[in-house]
Every structure is written in C-alpha cells, then in structure tokens.
Amino acid sequence: MQINLKKILPLLLVLFISITPISVCAEEELPPPSTVEAIKEDPSVKLLAESKTILANIKQLTQQATELKEVSAEIPDFDQLLFMTLLISIESDIYVELDRLIAIQQKLDQATEAASLLKIDLQKFSVKQESTLRNEIHKLKELGPKLSKQTAKGSSTSFSIERARQIIFDLLVEWQKNIDRQKLLEMNVTASVAELSKIVQFVAIAQTGRIQLSLDAIAELNIAMEEAAPDDQLQITKQLHKETLRKSQAAANLEKMLGIMTSLEMDTTKFGQALVLATGKILHADVETKAVIGLFKKLFDQAMFWLQENLSFIIFRIFSFVLLIFAFKVLASLVRRLVDKATASSQFEISQLLKDFLGSIAHKIVMIIGLMVALSQLGIEIAPLLAGMGIMGFVIGFALQDTLSNFASGLMILIYRPFDIGNFVDVAGISGEVKQMNLVSTTILTVDRKRMIIPNSKIWGDIITNVTAESIRRVDFVFGIGYEDSISAAEEILRDIVTQHELILNNPEAVIKVHALGESSVDFVVRPWVKSTDYWDVYWDITRQVKERFDAGGISIPYPQRDVHVIPENKGAAL
C-alpha cells in the first residue's frame, strides 16, 4: 500500500512534539505600560490572559491529533497501536490543559460574561473529548480481533493485543475524570454516567472471572507440582509464573475499575472481595468495609461447613494424637529406667554424668519417635518435616556456634570423665562441688554456697583440677622454729600430734623432716595422709594443735625480722 509522504510529515512533527515538551502561545503585540499596570491590579484580567494561552495550546494539540488520525487511517492494523499510543499521549496533554482551564474558570466571577463564555467553551471541549474517548475505545475493541487474526502470530502480536486492552482501561479512567469535569461545569452527566457504569460493570465482571480462572489454575498447578517428575517441574514453574502474572494484571485492572465505580457511587462489594482474594491485601483505597466483612463471613461459613463435615474425623485424630503421646511418654519413662538399671549394673566404670546422659538421651529419642508417629496420625507428612528440620538444623547450627562448642565439650567431658557429680573441682578459676551437668553447662556449688553455671567449653578448654578424684590426699604443712630452739624437741612434739590424731592414716606413713634453714627460722615439713573428705578438718586441727603445743613447750615460732646497724656520723667520716 502506498503512503502519501505529505501526510507522513505531520506524523514526524507529532513524534518530535511527543518527546519535546513545548508551549504554543498565541502571538500578540505587547500591551502598553498602562495596560500592564491594570493587569497587575485586576487578577481576573491576568486569569483571562492565561486562559487565552491555554486555549491556544489546546487548539494546537487538537490540530496535531487530527493530523495524526488522518495518517493512521492509511497504515496496517499491526501499526495502528503505535499511532493510537501517540494519539492518546497528545490527548493526555489536552486533558492537563483542560484541568488548568477549568481551575481558572472556577476562580473567575461566575456572573461576568467572560466566565460564562469560557464555561461554554469548556463544555464544548468536554463533550468533544467524551466523543473522542468513545471512538478510541470502540476502535481499540475492533483492533484486538483484527490483531488476533494475523497469520504471523508471535510474542509481539500477543503483546500488542494486551497493550490495547490496557489502553482501554486507561481510557475508561479518563472518561470518568471527564465526567468529573462536566460536573464542575454544571453539565447533565446522567447519560454519560449510565453508559460508563454499564461498561465498567461488564469489564469488572470480566476481570473478576480472569482472577478466578487464574486462582483455579494456580491451585491445580501447585497440586501437579507435588506429583510431577523433576524434569516436568521446570515447565510447571513457568506456567505458574505466567498465571501469577495474569492474576496480578487482572487485579490491577480490577482496581482501576473499582476506582471508577467508587467515583460513580456504584456497589463494589462483590468485586472488592475478588480483589482481596487476588492480592491478599485487605486495605485497599477502593475496597469498601462491607466487602471485607462479607469476605470474612464467606470464609467463616466455608470453615463452619467444612468443620461440620469433618468434625468426627478431627476428634478421632486428636484423640489418637493425645493417646499416642501419652503411650510414648510412658514407654520413654520405662526405657529410661531400663537404661539406668543397665548402666548401674554394668561391669564398666561409668561416671554418674554419663549414666544421666544416656538415660536422658534414651528418653528423648523415644519421645521424638512418638511425636513423629502422633503427627502422622494428624495427617502431617513426616518426610517434608524431616527435610525442613534438617535445613533448620543447619541454619540453627550456623547461628549457635558457641552453643555447639559447649555441646561438643560436654560430650568430651562425658567420654573422658575428668570429674563426676559430687567431686570437688577447680575449673575455669572456680572451686566447688559439682552438682549438675548437661551437654551445655556444668553447675558448681562453691564453698561459700554460691551456685555457678559454667559453659562446658570454658571447662574443657582450661586446666581441670579434681580435688576429690582420689580417696586419700596428703596434707602439706610447713612449721618454723627459732634457731635457739631444740630441733629434737620440736620434732617430737610434731610426731606426737600426727600420731595421736584419729583422722590421719597410718599408711602411707607421715613424713616429718627438717626441710630448710630459713632467714629467720628452722623449717619443718609435716606431710600426713588423710581421707579426701577429711582434708580441711585435719588441716585446721593440726595447725591449731601445733601452735598450742609449741607455746606449752617453750618453742618459739619466729617471724621474719631484720637487724639494722646504725653507724655514727663522725665514725663514718673517720672511716
């Protein structure tokens, strides 16, 4: 088909105008200074001057749109959408100018002739634009089927058809705005409202249907995904993505229609419920409260109906769940007793900590198995749950590295048994009796009755001193006597004290020897052996008795002293 180049030239001008905003103003001669002063004093004169400029812009834009329509009549159907897009872009500029002009008209004194004439012009423009909107909507409706019949169908054709539909929705929104303009201009909009309401109602019903079809398709695809082979899951995922996009697009279109219906004071309850279902959002500007209430009521009715149909089955499953949990709890307690009994009668030397740990682990394993069996009775799939627990365990393990370090240290303590319950230990700088231990921490009761909870990693990573690990201990004393005192007399007193004390063991034999000649004293070492539980009693008793017996025997216990020799000054000078 031959295209007249003379008619294409205006199109090039339109393309340039669409990407380069311009302001076309009527050429007028500059007014004399006196007129300028009058304009400054009278705001209405300034508004009228601005209105003339806007009218000139509207006429220029209208001329461009007319030229574009003449050219678009001679091009193929596939390219019509491009020209329609350009045309709508120009008309959008016209609507902006119309809104500015209406705002000026509303500011003018309505009793003046200028305001009346401007109002008449605006009414004519509004009627003309409404007719233009109708024609463009009708043309786009016809363009869709024509594009669908194209022999060379492809993604570009599908995109063009969908784009034409979206333009129709935008034109309907613009039509509703034009009705609002007509209301401001005190025009009769009854016929326009009735026609637009009918169209919008039909479009809203169609979009609601598309949403429901997409929701049904998504539900079926999700079911198919669970049963599909790995090779088919990729194709199903693509279909899911496509249906989700369709649902989102239909929801966006329905939201536009709800905005129009709200402005036209139409009932949106049914469509508001569909929009909430599609988007999952309750708070929409154009969704009425009663629509949300109705949706919840509908869901509640469905839930009650389902409950009535399945109540007996649910009660049976809950009863089975509770019964299984109770049975496995009894079984877990029985297994724990058996493990405790087996470890107690074992020929191997097992610490109390390890015994408690084995009993606790056996109890927990049985309870976990019972929980899995009980959950399966409720209809919960165990395999996905176990897989989820594995992933969750990895995440938790990464987040709780310090706790896992304590756990590993607890296992090492249980295996190598550096101490047991009731032992007096010195660990992590704390001394006391071990009262309790688990895989994470150890509880120690200090000699001043303070309960200290120490992380196992702190214990295993430091020196562990088990004071009561052995049944007997040696008590080490050092006693000093003066150089002028009798060594044999002091030794006899010390040996007599050690021999007569009932808590000191005869075997191994106690050691009493002269150990060192100190700066101030002759030092004896006294090293008797006692039971570990008697250590401090013996230590305190022997210390007291040595002091009392030395005092009674006239033996001194010297303390460090220093002799200071004073040399007279005159004697020092002589030297």
Provide the CATH number for the domain around residue 453: 2.30.30.60
How far is Cα 537 from Cα 503, in angstroms, rounded to an integer? 9
From the number of C-beta atoms within 10 Å of its C-beta (0-12, 13-18, 19+), residue 433 rates as: middle
**pTM greater than the 0.75 cutoff:** no
- Judgement on whether residues 446 and 511 belong to the same structural domain of the protein: no
Q: Which long-range contacts (CB under 8 A, 24 or more apart) does 145-149 make?
A: 146/77, 147/77, 147/78, 147/81
Residue 357: CATH number of its domain: 1.10.287
How far is Cα 369 from Cα 365, in angstroms, rounded to an integer? 6
Q: Give domain status of residue 8, yes or no.
A: yes
- Judgement on whether residues 546 and 429 belong to the same structural domain of the protein: no
**How many domains does the chain divide into?**
5
Structural domain span for residue 319: 301-399
Q: Give domain status of residue 227, yes or no.
A: yes
Q: Answer yes or no: is pLDDT of 202 > 50.
A: yes
* Arithmetic mean of pLDDT, 162-168: 78
Give the pLDDT band (50/70/90) at residue 376. confident
**Residues 422 and 453 sit within 8 Å (Cβ to Cβ):** no
- Judgement on whether residues 39 and 164 belong to the same structural domain of the protein: yes
**Residues 446 and 430 sit within 8 Å (Cβ to Cβ):** yes
- Judgement on whether residues 416 and 362 belong to the same structural domain of the protein: no
Q: Answer yes or no: is pLDDT of 234 > 60.
A: yes
Q: Give domain status of residue 36, yes or no.
A: yes
- Judgement on whether residues 414 and 376 belong to the same structural domain of the protein: no
* Arithmetic mean of pLDDT, 500-524: 92
- Judgement on whether residues 68 and 105 belong to the same structural domain of the protein: yes
Q: Give domain status of residue 560, yes or no.
A: no
Report the largest interatomic distance among the alpha carbons of the chain, rounded to a whole angstrom.
141
| Residue 271, number of CB atoms within 10 A of its CB | 26
Q: Among 40-54, 104-118, 311-325, 561-575, which is the least confidently predicted range?
A: 561-575
| Residue 426, number of CB atoms within 10 A of its CB | 15
- Judgement on whether residues 440 and 366 belong to the same structural domain of the protein: no
What is the phi-psi region of residue 417: left when phi exceeds 0, alpha when psi lies from -120 to 50, beta otherwise?
left
Count CA within 13 A, CB hemisphere, residue 79. 8
E-assigned strand segments in 194-244: none
Q: Give domain status of residue 564, yes or no.
A: no
Instruction: Give percent of the chain with pLDDT exceeding 90.
Output: 16
* Arithmetic mean of pLDDT, 145-158: 61
- Judgement on whether residues 462 and 393 belong to the same structural domain of the protein: no
pLDDT in tens, 395-451: 565 556 677 788 788 888 877 888 888 888 999 889 999 998 887 889 999 988 999
Q: What is the 3-state secondary structure (H, E, C) of 103-130?
A: HHHHHCCCCCHHHHHHHHHHHHHHHHHH
Last residue of a domain, which of 357, 382, 399? 399
Last residue of a domain, which of 399, 415, 445? 399
Instruction: Give percent of the chain with pLDDT exceeding 70.
Output: 77
Q: Give domain status of residue 569, yes or no.
A: no
Average pLDDT value over all residues in the chain: 78
Q: Give domain status of residue 1, yes or no.
A: yes
Higher pLDDT, 249 or 280: 249
Last residue of a domain, which of 451, 466, 481? 466
Dihedrals phi, psi of 473, to nearest 5 degrees: -135, 160
Q: Give domain status of residue 292, yes or no.
A: no
pLDDT in tens, 76-114: 666 667 777 777 888 888 888 888 888 888 887 777 777
- Judgement on whether residues 278 and 349 belong to the same structural domain of the protein: no
Q: Answer yes or no: is pLDDT of 275 > 50.
A: yes
Residue 509: CATH number of its domain: 3.30.70.100
- Judgement on whether residues 57 and 26 belong to the same structural domain of the protein: yes
- Judgement on whether residues 233 and 161 belong to the same structural domain of the protein: no
Q: Among 136-140, 460-464, 562-566, which is the least confidently predicted range?
A: 562-566
- Judgement on whether residues 133 and 37 belong to the same structural domain of the protein: yes
Q: Answer yes or no: is pLDDT of 26 > 50.
A: no
Angle formed at CA 237 by CA 231 and CA 241, multiple of 5 degrees? 160
